[in-house]
Structure formats: structure tokens, C-alpha cells
Amino acid sequence: MAMVQPRNLKYRVWAARLCMILLLCLVMFPFLMIVSVSFRSGNFATGSLIPENPSLEHWALVLGIPWEAADGTIMQPTFPVLTWLWNSIKVSLITSALILALSTTGAYAFARLRFRFKDHLLTMMMILQMFPAVLALVAFHAFFNKLGNFIPWLGLNTHAALIVSYLGGITMNIWLIKGYFQSIDNALEESAAIDGATPWQAFRYILLPLSVPILAVVFILAFITTIGEYPIASVLLQGADQLTLAVGAKQFLYAQNYLWGDFAAAAVLTGLPITIIFLVAQRYLVSGLTAGGVKG
Amino acid sequence: MAEVKLTKLNKSYDGGKTFVLKNIDLLIKDGEFTAFVGPSGCGKSTLLRMICGLEEISSGDLELEGTRVNDMPPNERRVGMVFQSYALYPHMTVRENMAFGLKLAKMSKDEINQRVEEAARSLQLTHLLDRKPKAMSGGQRQRVAIGRSIVQEPRLFLFDEPLSNLDVALRVQMRQELARLHNRLQTTSIYVTHDQVEAMTLADRIVVLSPLAEGAETNLEQVGAPLELYHNPCNLFVASFIGSPKMNFFSASLLETGEEQSRVKLDCGTELTVFNNTSSAKVGDKVTLGIRPQDVLNHEEECGAGNCITGTIETIERLGNESFIYLKHPDIQEAFIVRVEDSRRREPESAFRVGVPAENCHLFNEAGQAYPRTRSPRFD
């Protein structure tokens, strides 16, 4: 920037940096705490940030490996944590993919097609979404309980039921994607139609490739929300083998004994898939995809 | 290649309450280059979009090669279109852009390549084939857009103000390329523009559209060859729209009517003879006299039969090869524009008496319809 700046700008830059470092600490501290607890021997929530007696016992137990303590007793892993992790990843991936499929097609309808009550429908969906899904827990339970009598794989304690219940919350995603679609010039699809493309082909080959950044955002958001979701999963899933990690990790904290160390290790484990998904999706979060298509 | 036939075509919104286009009857012959011109809001782009299927036809018939295509979706009409905004697919290279339609048509790879390269060669795009649209200039993008429709070998080319986003020099060059392209391919083409110079230079026939007036039967004003519209505009709207600078209009009344010639009196009192057939009118009828800036004679000595109008010079635009003199005249609101070759002797604020040859005058009745001209205009 060639603009002339006032002299005290330097101090302002430093002040901004200080604020940012403080903010970073605020964000990082809880995370580092969890990591620290997971490597601390025994189950203590408090202690120094760098463990005094680092131990891998919690990680071993969480990963399903028996652990021989210093006094010779062998601790057996209590819960199938790796199964839970797999359940979480499976449910989250399928849910996110389905959410993406539903919200892109839904958003296309709202952004491009003309039909009656379109505006009303959009507002109505928004208002319905304001009612927290948690408050409908009873309904979910009753619904899938009943449904399970007829379609066993969609009953209580199935992942399919959980996925279906998650698909209700796509209004936000529809709004997000709809806004992005509307920023893409309609002339591109019209041009594709003239080139011989059916509406579906124009959507598939023109609109979707240009919307990859917002699709990546929606996918990440859906994945993060699903993998950390507790209330619905805790009601719909019951069998120990069916639990997701978010629900399962709670099992370490029962009234008589809070196994903070095991809980922390499981929590860090939950963060792993999110991190991987984010790193993968990051490549698609690029701007300027539509540059040069139409003269502005 | 195809013939396009429009019969009583209408476009209306709000269930037939607001009309954009009304009663458009038009036959575009095979291989013809037709231009739709008109001021903004006259519906010329809408008409084009109706022909390619991007806009629904409210009523009337649209026939392509003799088949009614009103309800055929755009992807089945086999027409090519070049958009004002180019509308290139930004995530594809030039080659992919041009091959997109061919791939959808499931053409063989070899044939696609052959067609794309041939089109690229004819449009001088070969060295750009692997570039993305954002790395190209406006003119290059426009050529890609043209190439994309050429490779499809459409029955009909549609151009929606394709040059309006280019700068002036490039526009002239692209205009030449389009003319050459049409000469080579001989495909029926429809060209929408608000620039009458483009229409006059490119088109075999021009269709003049006007914004639909309240209670009007149609907004199709006149269809004809460029020079026919220039010399024999059928009404005031076409007369004022075609030609640059605009035709000058004087309010007047008829003194003598006749089949061969008539005599009119301008409101300021000047009497003029004009070669127009006014046998359908009565003496005393209100008329409008039109004369193009180019059709006025510079020297009063040359004016035959004393056909002269006097005005006061307001400003002079000297362009080198010609000058436009803006005169003040009591009967004209704006300015009486006169084109002269030599303006050296002229000074602002001085009086200027110009010759108005009788054969160069246009005459319109109160409703704006032209009285036929009886003599061919005088050329130098």
C-alpha cells in the first residue's frame, strides 16, 4: 500500500497483534488442556499443562490395547472406542454427503426455478428451523420407534435413523448455497442450454463445478455439526456397539468415577476426522472460480 | 440453415395485462442476416430469447424450418447464440468451452477435435485453445463465444448485442469479422443491437422495434433493407431512429396537396415545396416536415425553387472531413442540425440560410405516418 499512513500506525499494528495473540491463547488453551489430560497418568482434570508423569495409558485403553500399570495390574479397555469412532465417521460422512445432495438440489430450485409460494416456502423453512431439533427429541424417539416396526433398518438404535433425523436441518445450507448460485450469472446456464444441455446437464457440468467452494464449506459445516452432535444421537442410539464417539465418550464420565483421562483421549480422537476433512476440503476453498466467464 | 417465421407473436406478463411485444409478424429467409434494432425497452432481446427458447412465447407461432417450435426446449432447437456478456464457462479452457456442446451430442473425439481446431483457426484462436477465459481479453473472449456456436453448425445464429462490451476500435474490427463470417457460412443470422450503425452495416434486412405504446396494435415499426429504411421510413419513429445525427423535424401545415408534389408552411411562416404524395390529406392538415442533416444544402444559391430555411448558428462541431452546425430555429425544440463540408466561413451567432431540396424532404401526417416520396432523393 502506497498510501501515506499516520506515524502511530506502528503501535496500532502491535496492539492488533497483541489482541490476536490473546485471542489465540483463549482458543488454544482448552484444546491444549485436553491433550495434556489425555497424556497425564491417572484421571485428574487439573494439573500442569505439561504432564509431570506422561503416560500413554489413556491412549492405549482408548485404542483398545490392554495396559499394564506400574504395579503390575493389567487394565482392560472398557469400551469399543474405535468402533465408536468408525460409527461417527460413517454417520458423519453419509449425512454430509446426503445433506450436500439435498441442499444443492433444493437451493437450485429456489435460485433458478419459478414456482408458486417460493418466497413463503423459504421463510417458512427458516422459521421452522428456529425450533431447536433437541426439543423434538420425544418426537424423534416415538417416530423411529414406530417406523422400526415396519422398516427394521430405520428403527431405533440404527445409524440410518440417526442419519435421516439429521437431514432435517438443511435450511441454513439451502440458504447458503442459494445465495452462491444467485451470484453466478444465469447466462452461463442459458448458454449451456443453447449448446444442447438439458437443465440437469447445465446444473451438473456448469453450476456445480463453479460452486465447489460453497459446497466444500457446507460439507465441512455439516460434518462438524454431525460428528459432535449429542442430544439426538444419545436418544436414538442405545446399544454399546452402535454409539457415536460423542455419545460414547460420555460413558467415561459416570457418577461414581470421572475418567477424565480416557474421556480426553476420546475427545482428541473426535477432532482427528474433522481435521482431516478440513485439510482435504481446504483445497476447494478457492475464490475467483467464476472470473472471466461473463463481462461484469 | 433455416427459415424463421413469426406469426402474431406476443409476449406479455401478468397473465396478459402488460405486453412487451405485440403482434410480431416476420419472415426471415434462409441465409439472411437480419438485425433487430430499437431503443432500450423495445423488447428486441426478449424477441431473440423467444426465438432461441430462453423465454416463453405468450401466444402466436414461431416456426423454424417450417416446424412450429413454440414448446421445444432450447437444447433441442439447434440454434447458436452469442451473448452480450459472452457467457463463457469460466472453469473450462477455450477448447473445452467449444467442445462442450459437441460432447453433450456424443460426437466422436476425433470429430470434436477437428471441428474445434477448424473453428479456432478461422477465428485466430489456435494459440489460445488451452487458456481459460479469465486469461483473455474482451475481443478474444467474444471470438471464443462465436467459435462455440460455430462448431455446433447451428441452423440459426443469434447475436445478442455481441459487440457492446468492446471498445470502439475493436468493435469496428469485430464487425468486419462478423460480416466475413456470415459471407462464408451463409447461415441465417439474427442480430440484436441498439446501435443503428451496426445494423446498417451488417444486416441484409433491419427490423425496427419500438417500446410498446399504450393501445398500440404492434411494436414492429418497419422491416426493410437498410437503405430503404433510411430513405423511406414509414413513420416518424423509424425516421428519427435511423440515421445519425437524427433527422430534423419541423411542425407545419399543408398549403397545397397533390399526387406529385405538395406545398407546406412551417409554423414560422416559411413556405416550402416538397415532393410527397399528399392526395389523401386536406389543405390545412397539420404535418411534420423531416429533413436529414446530410440532405440539407450548404449554399443558398443551390436551393431550387427558393426552398430555404433560415436559422441562427448556435454551435459548430468541426470533425475534419465534415462539420455539424447546430442552428436555432423557432419551430425546433432542440436544434436544427446541418451537415456541411466547409464550415470555415461560418461563425456562431450569425444567420445561416440553408437549402432544403424538395426531393430530400420527408413528410408525416399528424399520426406520424409518412406521405410517400415521389422522387428519388438527390445524391451528389
Which residue, B200, B234, B268, sits at the end of a domain? B234
Inside any domain, residue B376: no
Output the domain CATH number for residue B316: 2.40.50.140
Question: Are residue B136 and residue B205 in the same domain, yes or no?
Answer: yes
% chain B with pLDDT above 90? 69
Question: Mean pLDDT in chain B?
Answer: 90
Residue B371 within any structural domain of the chain: no
A116 in contact with B, Cβ within 8 Å: no
Same domain, B212 and B270: no
Q: What is the rounded average pLDDT of the residues B162-184? A: 90
- Residues of chain B positioned with their CB less than 8 A from the CB of A205: 100
Residues B113 and B22 in one domain: yes
**What was the pLDDT predicted at B378?**
58
Kindly state the cell numbers that stand for B91.
472453469
Is B319 found in the same domain as B208?
Answer: no
DSSP 8-state class, residue A205: I
Dihedral sign computed on CA atoms, order B16, B17, B23, B27: negative
Distances (CA, A) of A94 to A159, A222, A226, A279: 10, 10, 10, 19
In a domain, B370, yes or no: no
Tally the domains of chain B. 2
Phi then psi for B211, rounded to 5 degrees?
A: -60, 135
pLDDT (0 to 100) of residue A112: 92
Confidence (pTM): 0.83
Per-residue confidence (pLDDT) for residue A184, from 0 to 100: 92
Instruction: Using an 8 Å CB-CB cutoff, list chain A residues near B138.
Output: 295
Considering the domain architecture, whether residues B125 and B274 belong to the same structural domain is answered as: no
Residue B330 lies in domain: 245-364
Q: For residue A139, what is its C-alpha cell?
A: 418426537
Question: Contacts for A174-179 with beta carbons within 8 Å, 24 or more apart?
Answer: A174/A103, A174/A106, A174/A107, A174/A110, A174/A125, A175/A107, A175/A122, A175/A126, A176/A103, A176/A107, A176/A214, A176/A217, A176/A218, A177/A103, A177/A104, A177/A107, A177/A111, A177/A211, A177/A214, A177/A215, A177/A218, A178/A107, A178/A110, A178/A111
Q: Please report the pLDDT score of residue A289 as a whole number.
A: 66
Say yes or no: B251 and B282 in one domain. Answer: yes
Residue B77 CB contacts under 8 Å (≥ 6 apart), including other chains: B52, B53, B64, B69, B155, B156
Q: What is the pLDDT of residue A125?
A: 87
pLDDT of residue B1: 58
**A contact test, residue of B51, B72, B86 with most A CBs within 10 A:** B86
pLDDT at B299 over 70: no
Q: For residue B380, what pLDDT is reported?
A: 43
Read off the pLDDT of each residue in B60-84 and give the average, rounded to a whole number.
Answer: 93
Taking only residues 196 to 255 of chain A, the set having a beta carbon closer than 8 angstroms to any beta carbon of chain B reads 196-198, 201, 205-206, 209-210
Does one domain contain both B340 and B283? yes
Residue B29 lies in a domain: yes
Contact B252, B265 (CB under 8 A): yes
Say yes or no: A287 contacts chain B, CB-CB below 8 A.
no
The CATH number given to whatever domain includes residue B8 is 3.40.50.300
Please report whether residue B372 resides in a domain: no
Q: Residue B244: is its pLDDT beyond 90?
A: no
Q: How far is A289 from chain B (nearest CA, A)?
A: 7
Domains of chain A: 81-284 (1.10.3720.10)
Q: How many whole angstroms separate alpha carbon A292 and alpha carbon A265?
A: 49
Q: Are B70 and B173 in the same domain?
A: yes
Contact A288 B134 (CB under 8 A): yes
Instruction: Please report the number of interchain residue pairs, chain A to chain B, with beta-carbon separation below 8 angstroms.
Output: 90
Do B273 and B162 share a domain, yes or no? no
Residue B180 lies in a domain: yes
B91 in the same domain as B230: yes
User: ipTM of the assembly?
Assistant: 0.84
- Asked whether residue B164 carries a pLDDT value surpassing 80, the answer given is yes
Residue B300 has pLDDT above 80, yes or no: no
B99 and B15, same domain (yes or no): yes
Residue-by-residue pLDDT tens, chain A, 296 positions: 567 767 777 888 899 999 999 999 999 998 998 899 888 887 777 777 788 788 888 888 888 888 887 777 888 888 888 999 999 999 999 999 999 999 999 999 999 998 999 999 989 988 888 888 788 889 999 999 999 999 999 989 999 999 999 998 888 899 999 999 999 999 999 999 999 999 999 999 999 999 999 999 999 999 999 999 999 999 999 888 899 998 988 888 877 778 888 888 888 988 889 999 988 888 888 766 666 677 64
Looking at the structure, do residues B267 and B195 belong to the same domain, yes or no?
A: no
- Please indicate, yes or no, if residue B249 is contained in any of the structural domains: yes
The reply to whether B374 falls in a domain is no
